[in-house]
Chain A
Amino acid sequence: MREKTSLRSPANKMFPASISSTLLMGGITFFFSAFSVLEIHAQETTDPKKVAQKKDGKKIDFKREIAPILEAHCWDCHGEDQQESGLRLDRRANMLRGGDYGLRAVVPGIPNQSYLLDLVNHLDPDLKMPPDEDKIPAKEIAVLTRWIAQGAIWPGQMDVVAATKSSHWSFQPIVRPTIPGDAVANPIDAFLTQQLSAKGLAYSRPADARSLIRRVSFILTGLPPMPNQIAEFEVSYQRNPETTYSALVDRLLASPHFGERWAQHWLDVIRWAETNGSESNMYRKNAWIYRDYLIRSFNQDKPYQQFLTEQIAGDTMGQGDAMGFLVAGPHVPVATVGQEASARRQARADRMDEILQTVGTSTLGVTIGCARCHNHKFDPISITDYYSMSAVFQDIEFGSRFPELAEDHVHQIRGKELYQQISELHGALQKMGPWEENWTGYRELHFPPVESRAVRITFMWNYARIDELEIFGLENPKQNLALASSGTTAFSPKEISVARNESHKINDGMFGTEAWAGKSPPDTKQKPWVQLTFAKPHVVDRLRLSTNRGDFLETDYLLAMNKFNFGPYKVECQGADGKWNVVANTGQLKKLDVKYPTRPKIIQQIQRLIINVSEEGPKSSFVGRLINPSKTFVLNRGSPETPRHEVFAAGLMEISGQLDLPPNSPGKLRRKAFAKWLTGPKHPLTARVAANRLWHHVFGRGIVATPSDFGAAGALPSHPELLDWLASEFKEPTLAPDRKPPSWSMKHLLRLMVLSKAFQQSSQPNEKGLMLDAGSALLWRFPPKRMEAEVIRDSILLSSGVLSSRVGGRSYRIHNVKKRYAQWEVNDNFGPPTWRRMIYQERMRRVDDQMFTAFDFPDCGQIRAKRPVSTTSLQALNLLNSQFVIDQSKRIADRATEMANNDVAQSIDHCFLLLLGRTPDKMERQASRRLADNSDLSMVCRALINSNEFAFLP
C-alpha cells in the first residue's frame, strides 16, 4: 500500500526547469519550460513520531551529520544553482521526488529503495556518484543510510511537499467558450472569421457546385460522386443550395462507405497492420475483424466514449474484436527473440511499449514513450505514470483468441445460423455411421455416442504426430474431456515413443510445436497408438486431432501450414464392462458413401458451411491474447533487468489518474477503469484530441497541426477557442436539437464542419491570402491537397465500374503464400480479386505494394497521425505504367464507349465525366480526340488518371 500512497502523492509531479543530461532518451530540450514549479504545503509524507519509534541507534542530527556530507559531495551539481539531471538534494521534498530518472532519491525509512544510496554505493554500473571521483567514505554512506532508515528527518522541511501543475494549454480544463459575433451563423465560421478579419482576410467565394460535391464526397466517403449524381446536384443546388447541400451531407454520412473512409484514418494513427513486422513478418490471422469493427462503429456513429472503451475493454462488453486496437502495433514474437532470458524480458517490455504507444498517442495525443526511461522532459508524465499505465495492460499479449462477442454481435448472429445449419446436417448424418470433417487446422471425427472409460487411437501410418487430441461428449458438448487437467491420463507404449514427444503432450491443452509423436518400431507390424483414460466414464461422440494447431489459430498464408502429420486412424472405446469396441476407422469411411449415396453430399455441404463459419462466424482472431497479469515495477532507465518499486494500474497523475481499484485487480477491471478515466467528463485531452483529428481530416490540417502531440513539443492550436468549443460540443451537443445528436457523436461534429462556410468556399488562391497565410491555416480558402493512395486507387476502380461495394470481410491479397522466413512478394496487385476498396488490401508492414507505397501509404511501423505528401517521379511511373492503370484505363474507355454508343466524340466526354466529373473544354476535347484517333481511347483515360485535377482534392 505504500506505493499506492506514493502514487497519489503530488510529490512525483515536479518537473525541472532545465535539463541537461544527454544520457536520457527522448529528443528535445526547450528554450522555455512549459511548467511552473510551485511549492505547496500538504500532509506530512512521514509522521516523525512514528519514525522516531522505529529508529535504530542514536538519532542522526541532520545539520551536524548529513548537511556536511551533502555539501561536500552533492550540492555543487544538485543544489540551488545547478540541478544536473533535474535533481536537487538541498531540499527534502525534491529528494523524495527524485530527478529526471523518475526514481526517488530518498524513500524515508526504506534505504534499499532510495536511489541516492544505489548511486553512492556504485550499485548501478552505468551511473556512479559523485562522478569521476572516488566513492564517498564508507562511514559517511553508513550515516546517510541510517539517516534515511530513521525517516530522513530534516528539521524545518518535514511538511514541505514539492508539487507542480502543468500550465501547458492542453492539460487545462475544457471550458466552452462564448461564440463570438453573430450567434446565428455556424459557430465554426464565427470563430474562424473572427481570426481572419483580425488579419485583414476573409473567406473566398463559395466553391462551384461540382467542386463542392466532389470535395465533400471525398472527405466523407473517400469516393468521388458519379456523373449523374453531380448533374442532379448541380441542378438542385442552383435552385436551393442550402437544403440541397445539407441533404447531400446527410446522404454521405449515412453511406456505408463513410465508415470505410474514417476507419482508414484511425488505422493510420495506430499503425495497424496484418503482419507482425520483425523477422518472419507473419500474417495475423483474422486481424481484419478489428478493421470491420471500426467500419461498423463509424457507420453506426458509435459514441466516441464507447468507441474507446470497447477498444480497451471490449472483452467486458461483448466486443472482444474491438481489442485489436491494443495489439495494432508491430511486435517481435518470442520464437524469434532467441534463447537468452534477458532478451525475452526485453522483448516483452518492447511489446508492452507498443501497446502504450498505441493507447497514449491515439487517445491522449501525448508521447508517453519518453517516460519509459525517465520522466518526460516537457510533459507532465513521469516514469511512474508510464509503468502504472503499463500495469493497466499487463494482461494483454500479442496473439490470438476467440473474441468475446455479445449475443447481438453480427458474427455471433451469423455464427449461430451457420452452426444451426451444420447441426441440422449432423442430424441427417446420424444414421449413416461415423464421419470426419476438416476444419483446416484440425480434423473432427463424429461417431455414435458411446459410454466410455477410455479411448484408444491407433494410427495406420508408421508415424503420427499430434499436438492435441480433444474428446467431446453429450453432457457438455463444449467440454474437452481429454484434458489432463480434468483428470484424464494419456498413455502410449515405450517401444513406439519418440524423444521429446511424450504422451502427456497430447492432452496438455497446448497447441503448437509441443506434441506427442509415435513411430512403429522397426521390423514390426505395431502401429503408433495412444490411449486416454478418463477419471470417470463419459458418453462420448466426437474427437478432434491436429498436428500443429498453433499456426492455424495465429497465422495464415504460409507454405506447408496446417499439415496433418498422421494418416487414417482407428478409434476404440472401452465400455463400462471393460470391453473395447471400434467406433470408427477413418480408412474405411468411404465405404459408407456407397451404402448411403446422400452422405457425401451432406458432408460437402458441411465443409462449405465450415468455410462460411471461418469467414463470418466467431473465430480465433489476432485481437490479443489475455494472460495473467504479472507484477509491474518501475524499470530503471527502461531496462527489465533493473526493476525498482512496484506500481499499480493508473492513468496519468497530472489528470487525476487514480483508478480506485484494489492493487491486484483482474486485468479487465483495470482496463475498464482506465477507459472510464480516459473518457471521463473532465479529461482535458481525450475530447480535444478527437475533435482535432476529425478537423485534420476535413480541412487537411489540424487546429493543432500535430494531431498526436498535444504536449509541449507539439504545435499550439491555431484556433484554441474553436478547438475547445468543438470539444465541448462533442461531449455535450447543443446544436441541431431536432436531430438529437448523442454525446460524443463523431458524425455530429463532422456534419458541423462540412456545413461550415469555411468548408464550402473555393480552393482557388488569391494574392492577399497567399501573402498573409500561405499555408491557408486560417482558412481564407479551402486548402487543396493531393489525395491519399486509397482515394486514387478507389476512384479509378469506381470510374471503371468494377469497384465492389461489399463492406467488410477478409482482406484481398496481393501477395504470395510464402515460406515461413521469406519476405512477402507482390504477385497480383491489379486483378479482379483486388477490385475492392483499398482499405481491404492487406496492410503489410514494410512491404512495398509496388504501386501506392510511393504515395506515402504508411509502412505501419510507427504512428502516422498524418501522412506526409511526397511528390516523386516514381509515383509518376507507377501511375503511368503499372498494369493496374493500363488495365483500368482500358476498362474505363470501354465503359465510356458503351455509354456513348460507340460515338468517339461522346465517349471522350464520358471519360472526362467518369474521371473528373466534368466534360472537356474545347482544347482538351481536340487534344483527346487526336490521341484517341492515333491510338485508342484508353490512352486518354491514362492521361486523365495522371492529371493533377484527378489527384487533387478540389
Chain B
Amino acid sequence: MNLPESLSSLGRHFLNRRNFLHTAGLSGAAIGLTSLLSSDGLLSEDLKTAGGKKPIRPRIDSRNPYAARPSHFEAPAKQVLVIYCPGAVSHIDTFDYKPALARLHGQKPNGLPAVTFEGPSGNIAKPFWKFKPRGESGKMTSDLLPHLGRQVDDFCFFHALSTQTSAHPQGENFFNTGFTMEGFPSFGAWTTYALGTENQELPAFVAINDPRGLARSGKNNFGNGFLPAAFQGTAFNSKSPPNNLGRPRSIPARTDAQTVELLKLLNSRHLKKYPGDADLAGRIASYELAGKMQSSVPQVMDLAKESEATLKAYGVEGGSQLRGHYARNCILARRLLEKGVRVVQLFNGSDPSGGNGITNWDSHTNIAKTHAMQAEIMDQPTAALIADLKQRGLLKQTLVVWATEFGRMPFLQGNGTGRDHNPGAFTCFLAGAGVKKGFSYGESDEFGFKAMVDKTSVYDFNATILHLMGLDHSRLTFYHNGLERRLTNVHGHVVTEVTA
C-alpha cells in the first residue's frame, strides 16, 4: 500500500500537481513568498466548494498580506461601511410600516406565540412613533428616526430578513460571521482577506467600537476566526487609538528612531544568512509599515480641521454626550473611507452593562424611552455620515450597510412596556455603490411577525453584500479543518433585485 498507484485518483492528482510545481522551474524565491496560508491552498486547490464551484483563494504574499487584490468580477463598490446596531432595532417602530398593528392594538390574535425569548407574551402594540411618507418615494418611516427618514430615497430596504436565533450573541455571530457558533471569521475579515486594501499606511479593516464598549459578541464581530490574524479588524475610535500605536512617553522620538535603526541593522545582517527568505523580509517590511501607521493613524483621527458645518451636521454638539462621541466616530468613519480603508465597521451600541441605563437597542422594558435614547444617539450622526459620503462622491464606490441582528415583536412582553426579540422578521438597509435607490425588497406579514414575501436569509444578505463588492460568496473560501469554509456556509443567494 501507499504507493502512488494505490492512492485515490484525487491523491494522484495532487501528486501530479506537486510534480508539476517541482519540475516547472518556477523560481524558488517566488514560491517562497507564499505563506503557510497559501501552502494550505496549494494542497486543496483541487477541492471544490459545495455546488461544485472552484474556490477562488486569494494568494497572500506574506511580505504584504494587505496588498490590494482584484475582485472576482467588476463591481462598483470598492469599500464598505457597516453600521451595526447591536441589541435588535425594532423594525415595526422604524422602517417597516404595519397599519394592522394600530387596528389590533391591545388585542392578542390567534397564531401568535405564548412564549418568546424572555417569557410570556402580551398584546399587540401599535408603533410607539408615528409613521408618515417621506422623500419622493413616499416611503413610510417613523418619527423615531427623522434624519434617516429624510434620506430614504437613497436607501434600499430589506424587509423580509429572518435569522436563526433569538439570542443576541448568537445573532451577532450569525450576522457578522455567518455562523451562530464561536470562532468564525467576520465579514470584514473575509473581505480584507479577499481584497487586501488600497492604503497600506492604515489598517485594512477598522472596527470603530461604541464609546460604551464592545457589543455582546465582542471581538467575534470583527475577528479573524481561523483566518490569519492579519485580517482581523483593528479596533479604535475617535477617542482611543489602537493599542500600542504610539511610542511610550518615556522614550524620546530620537531614541525611538535610533532603536529602529539598530533593529534594521540587526535584521539586515541576519537576512544575509537567509538570502531570499520571504518570511524574514516580510517581517522587516511590517516594521516599516508600522512606522508609517504611527503617523497616519493619528492624522486620520484628528478632527481638528473638520469644518464647523460638518461638526454641526453630524451633531457633535447639542445632543447627549453619547451622541457627541458617536458623531465623532461617524466623522472618523468618513475620514477612513476617504483614505481608502477597505472595511469600516461602526458600532452603535455595546453590551448590556455599560453606563447610562441603556447601552444598546435591546428594549425589553420601556421601549418608548429606551429606543428613543438610542435613536437620539444614532439618527442624526448616521444620516449626516451617509449624506457626507454622498456629497463627497464617496458613495459611488462605497457600499453602506445598516444592520442589526434581528427585529422586535409586534406584541409587548408580559411587562407591557417592552418588545421581545423577533428572529422571524427584521429590517436592514443598504445604500451607495451598486444598490437601487429608494427601493424596498421583501415584505413581512401584516404584523411584522414573520418574513412573508421575498424572504431573505442572513446568508442571502451577506451573499449580496459580497456580490456588490465584486466577490462570489460561493467561491470565496478558506480551507480550514477539512472544509472549504465560506462566509455563507453552503447557503445564500444573491438578491439581484436590489442591484442598480
Q: Which residues of A contact B (CB under 8 A)?
A: 20, 22-34, 167-169, 172, 175, 177, 199, 271, 277-279, 281, 330, 332, 336-340, 343, 350, 354, 361, 366-367, 370, 705-706, 708-709, 711-717, 720-721, 724, 763-765, 767, 769-775, 784-786, 819-823, 845-848, 850-851, 853-856, 859-866, 868-878, 880-883, 886, 921, 923-924, 927-928, 930-931, 934-935, 939-940, 942-944, 946-949, 951-952
Interface size class of B (residues with CB under 8 A): 35 or more
CA distance A24 to B44 in the complex (A): 20
Q: Do the beta carbons of A823 and B1 come within 8 Å of each other?
A: no
Q: Do the beta carbons of B286 and A871 come within 8 Å of each other?
A: yes
Choose the segment among B89-97, B131-139, B181-189, B330-338 that binds chain A (4+ C-beta atoms closer than 8 Å): B181-189
Q: A873-B290, A876-B286 are in contact. Are A821 and B351 (CB under 8 A)?
A: yes
Q: Which of B213, B225, B228, B482 has a CB less than 8 Å from the CB of A870?
A: B228
| B279-299 vs A, Cβ < 8 Å mask (1 yes, 0 no) | 110111111011001100000
Q: Do the beta carbons of B22 and A772 come within 8 Å of each other?
A: yes
In the assembled complex, which residues on chain B have CB atoms less than 8 Å from the CB atom of A714? Answer: 482
In the assembled complex, which residues on chain A have CB atoms less than 8 Å from the CB atom of B20? Answer: none
Q: Do the beta carbons of B293 and A877 come within 8 Å of each other?
A: yes
CB-based nearest B residue for A822: B353
Q: Do the beta carbons of B266 and A30 come within 8 Å of each other?
A: no
Q: A31-B13, A339-B116 are in contact. Are A366 and B490 (CB under 8 A)?
A: no
Q: Do the beta carbons of A28 and B50 come within 8 Å of each other?
A: yes
Q: Do the beta carbons of B248 and A169 come within 8 Å of each other?
A: no
10 example contacts (A-B, Cβ-Cβ < 8 A) are as follows A24-B490, A169-B2, A770-B28, A853-B232, A871-B62, A872-B229, A875-B286, A877-B290, A883-B248, A886-B248
Q: Do the beta carbons of B14 and A775 come within 8 Å of each other?
A: no
In the assembled complex, which residues on chain B have CB atoms less than 8 Å from the CB atom of A332? Answer: 167, 169-170
Query: Shortest Cβ distance from A173 into chain B, in angstroms?
Result: 8
B356 within 8 A of A: no
Q: Do the beta carbons of A27 and B477 come within 8 Å of each other?
A: yes
- With a 10 A CB-CB cut-off, give which of A361, A708, A773, A947 has the most chain B CB atoms: A947
- With a 10 A CB-CB cut-off, give which of A765, A845, A865, A872 has the most chain B CB atoms: A872
Query: Shortest Cβ distance from B241 into chain A, in angstroms?
Result: 10
Q: Do the beta carbons of A339 and B119 come within 8 Å of each other?
A: yes
Q: Do the beta carbons of B167 and A870 come within 8 Å of each other?
A: no
CB-based nearest A residue for B245: A877
Q: Do the beta carbons of B229 and A855 come within 8 Å of each other?
A: yes
CA distance A350 to B97 in the complex (A): 36
Q: A34-B8, A822-B353, A871-B65 are in contact. Are A28 and B484 (CB under 8 A)?
A: yes
Q: Which of B51, B65, B352 has a CB less than 8 Å from the CB of A872?
A: B65
CA distance A851 to B40 in the complex (A): 27
Q: Do the beta carbons of A28 and B287 come within 8 Å of each other?
A: no
In the assembled complex, which residues on chain A have CB atoms less than 8 Å from the CB atom of B62? Answer: 869, 871
Query: Shortest Cβ distance from A915 into chain B, in angstroms?
Result: 10
Q: Do the beta carbons of B22 and A773 come within 8 Å of each other?
A: yes
In the assembled complex, which residues on chain B have CB atoms less than 8 Å from the CB atom of A930? Answer: 258
| B52-63 vs A, Cβ < 8 Å mask (1 yes, 0 no) | 100000000011
Query: Shortest Cβ distance from B319 into chain A, in angstroms?
Result: 25
Q: Which of A720, A767, A769, A882 has a CB less than 8 Å from the CB of B2?
A: A720
Query: Shortest Cβ distance from B47 into chain A, in angstroms?
Result: 5
Choose the segment among B214-222, B309-317, B435-443 that binds chain A (4+ C-beta atoms closer than 8 Å): B214-222
- 18 A-B pairs besides A870-B228, A880-B259, A943-B262 with CB distance below 8 A are A32-B9, A32-B13, A34-B8, A340-B117, A350-B180, A367-B483, A706-B40, A713-B479, A770-B28, A772-B28, A850-B244, A854-B229, A872-B229, A878-B243, A934-B255, A944-B266, A947-B263, A951-B283
CA distance A19 to B288 in the complex (A): 49
Q: Do the beta carbons of B229 and A870 come within 8 Å of each other?
A: yes
Q: A367-B483, A881-B244, A939-B258 are in contact. Are A868 and B228 (CB under 8 A)?
A: yes
Q: Do the beta carbons of A931 and B277 come within 8 Å of each other?
A: no
In the assembled complex, which residues on chain A have CB atoms less than 8 Å from the CB atom of B285? Answer: 871
Q: Do the beta carbons of A713 and B28 come within 8 Å of each other?
A: no
In the assembled complex, which residues on chain A have CB atoms less than 8 Å from the CB atom of B393? Answer: none
Q: Do the beta carbons of A860 and B183 come within 8 Å of each other?
A: yes
In the assembled complex, which residues on chain B have CB atoms less than 8 Å from the CB atom of A951? Answer: 283
CA distance A706 to B36 in the complex (A): 11
CA distance A866 to B481 in the complex (A): 10
B480 within 8 A of A: yes
CA distance A279 to B167 in the complex (A): 8
Choose the segment among B98-106, B268-276, B397-405, B461-469 that binds chain A (4+ C-beta atoms closer than 8 Å): B268-276
Q: Do the beta carbons of B277 and A765 come within 8 Å of each other?
A: yes
Q: Do the beta carbons of B49 and A877 come within 8 Å of each other?
A: no
In the assembled complex, which residues on chain A have CB atoms less than 8 Å from the CB atom of B234? Answer: 874
In the assembled complex, which residues on chain B have CB atoms less than 8 Å from the CB atom of A845? Answer: 182
CA distance A169 to B1 in the complex (A): 8
Query: Shortest Cβ distance from A152 into chain B, in angstroms?
Result: 32
B247 within 8 A of A: yes
Q: Do the beta carbons of B216 and A279 come within 8 Å of each other?
A: yes
B417 within 8 A of A: no
Q: Which residues of B contact A (CB under 8 A)?
A: 1-2, 6-11, 13-15, 22, 25, 27-29, 31-32, 34-37, 39-40, 43-44, 46-52, 62-63, 65, 115-119, 165-170, 180-184, 203, 213-214, 216-220, 223-230, 232, 234-235, 242-248, 250-252, 254-255, 258-263, 265-267, 269-271, 273-277, 279-280, 282-287, 289-290, 293-294, 351-354, 421, 477, 479-486, 489-490
In the assembled complex, which residues on chain A have CB atoms less than 8 Å from the CB atom of B10? Answer: 30-32, 34, 712
In the assembled complex, which residues on chain B have CB atoms less than 8 Å from the CB atom of A28? Answer: 47-50, 483-484
Q: A279-B169, A330-B181, A871-B279 are in contact. Are A713 and B353 (CB under 8 A)?
A: no
Query: Shortest Cβ distance from B488 into chain A, in angstroms?
Result: 11
Q: Do the beta carbons of A361 and B47 come within 8 Å of each other?
A: no
In the assembled complex, which residues on chain A have CB atoms less than 8 Å from the CB atom of B1? Answer: 169, 172, 175
Query: Shortest Cβ distance from B26 into chain A, in angstroms?
Result: 8
Q: Do the beta carbons of B50 and A27 come within 8 Å of each other?
A: yes
In the assembled complex, which residues on chain A have CB atoms less than 8 Å from the CB atom of B286? Answer: 871-873, 875-876
CA distance A222 to B320 in the complex (A): 52
Q: Do the beta carbons of A848 and B115 come within 8 Å of each other?
A: no
Q: Do the beta carbons of B259 and A853 come within 8 Å of each other?
A: no
Query: Shortest Cβ distance from B74 into chain A, in angstroms?
Result: 26
Q: Which of B11, B48, B259 has a CB less than 8 Å from the CB of A931?
A: B259
Q: Do the beta carbons of B290 and A709 come within 8 Å of each other?
A: no
CB-based nearest A residue for B287: A876
CB-based nearest A residue for B215: A823
Q: Do the beta carbons of B255 and A765 come within 8 Å of each other?
A: no
Query: Shortest Cβ distance from B187 into chain A, in angstroms?
Result: 16
CB-based nearest A residue for B220: A846
In the assembled complex, which residues on chain B have CB atoms less than 8 Å from the CB atom of A338? Answer: 116-118, 166-167, 421
In the assembled complex, which residues on chain A have CB atoms less than 8 Å from the CB atom of B229? Answer: 853-856, 868, 870, 872
Q: Do the beta carbons of A339 and B115 come within 8 Å of each other?
A: yes
Q: Which of B170, B227, B271 has a CB less than 8 Å from the CB of A948?
A: B271
CB-based nearest B residue for A887: B248
Q: Do the beta carbons of A870 and B50 come within 8 Å of each other?
A: no
Closest 6 CB pairs of A and B: A861-B183, A770-B28, A862-B183, A861-B182, A367-B482, A774-B31
CA distance A784 to B280 in the complex (A): 10
Q: Do the beta carbons of A343 and B48 come within 8 Å of each other?
A: no
Q: Do the beta carbons of B167 and A337 come within 8 Å of each other?
A: yes
Q: Which of A765, A846, A949 has a CB less than 8 Å from the CB of B217?
A: A846
Q: A721-B2, A854-B229, A861-B220 are in contact. Are A784 and B266 (CB under 8 A)?
A: no
- With a 10 A CB-CB cut-off, give which of A721, A771, A880, A946 has the most chain B CB atoms: A880
Q: Do the beta carbons of B262 and A22 come within 8 Å of each other?
A: no
Query: Shortest Cβ distance from A670 into chain B, in angstroms?
Result: 25
CA distance A725 to B181 in the complex (A): 39
Q: Do the beta carbons of B2 and A711 come within 8 Å of each other?
A: no
Q: Do the beta carbons of A713 and B483 come within 8 Å of each other?
A: yes
Q: Do the beta carbons of A705 and B40 come within 8 Å of each other?
A: yes
Query: Shortest Cβ distance from B279 into chain A, in angstroms?
Result: 7
In the assembled complex, which residues on chain A have CB atoms less than 8 Å from the CB atom of B235? Answer: 848
- With a 10 A CB-CB cut-off, give which of B7, B15, B184, B261 has the most chain A CB atoms: B7
CA distance A767 to B48 in the complex (A): 34
CA distance A169 to B441 in the complex (A): 50
